[in-house]
Each structure stands twice: as C-alpha cells, then as structure tokens.
Amino acid sequence: MPRRPGAIQSLELTESLLLSDPDGTIKKMQQLQRVGVSFALDDFGTGYSSLSYLKVLPLDTLKIDIAFVRDLNLGMQATPIAATIITLAESLGLRVIAEGVETNEQRLVLARLGCHIYQGFLFGRPGTASAFSSVLLEGDAAEHASLPLPGQVVP
C-alpha cells in the first residue's frame, strides 16, 4: 500500500518477539526497512526491555506505555519516566508515541513534555477490520474522485 502524505506507517514490535530470536528479528527488520517499512518498539520501559535493543534494532519510534500515561501527574514517578523516554527518543532521532491517552489533561502533560503523537480513546475507539476497510475504501474513493475517468475531458 502506498504511503499517504503525513501518515506514520509502522509495524509495532513487542519485547516477546525480540526475546525469541533477536538476530533473526533484526535481519528481517532490516530487509523490511529497505522496502520502506518503519518500526516502533511497543511498551518501551516495561517488562524486561533493555536499552541495548536501542543500539541494535533499526527502530523509528518508541512508544510510551499506557501504564506511564495513565499515571501522569498523580504524584507517582510516571511523569519523569515519560519525560525521560521522550528525551531519549529525541536524542536518538526517534519519534515518540504515547499510547492510552484518554483525557485531554494527559495529552496536555505529554505535549508539555515534548510528545506530540498520541494513541488512545481520546481520539477514537477501536473498530472492526471491516469498518477499517470501509474507511480505507472511502479514503481511496475521495482521493481519486478528483481524477478524470478514462476518456473524460477536464476543462
């Protein structure tokens, strides 16, 4: 599928995928990256995530886990951890996405920390595969609606 201008298209990798076969995963990622696929490390900072992954994986994006987003500004350590992930991503030239953004307050805190890409219920609810297909088809129809049909004369 061709990239749409301004769209961020990437595959999200989980830690469990990386742990099962790191060398094989890296080789496959590099092959896919050569044809334009980008990668995001999902749930960064949870589980057994290692900073050493950041040295060897061809990543484009780090994702701030919902566990940190949910606890922003609650007197817990989530805010400085989110800020650190954002700073780390920026210093490595990576995009950063916050997942699980459900309130405007969370979005505002993240924006103040320097994160400007969000996923979560604040922006939309999960949908079915058929609903997603319909949106894509409608987008393609709208995108091509201004194109002339074969044989059509454009003034």
Tokens representing residue 5 in the block: 């201008």
Tokens representing residue 61 in the block: 């994006």
Q: How far apart are CA 66 and CA 72, in angstroms?
A: 10
Q: For residue 64, how many C-alpha atoms fall within 13 Å in the half-sphere facing its CB? A: 37
- DSSP structure class, residue 2: P
User: Which residues lie closer than 8 Å to 4 by C-beta, 6 or more apart?
Assistant: 139
- Catalytic residue numbers read 99
Q: In which element (H, E) is residue 44 found? A: strand 38-44
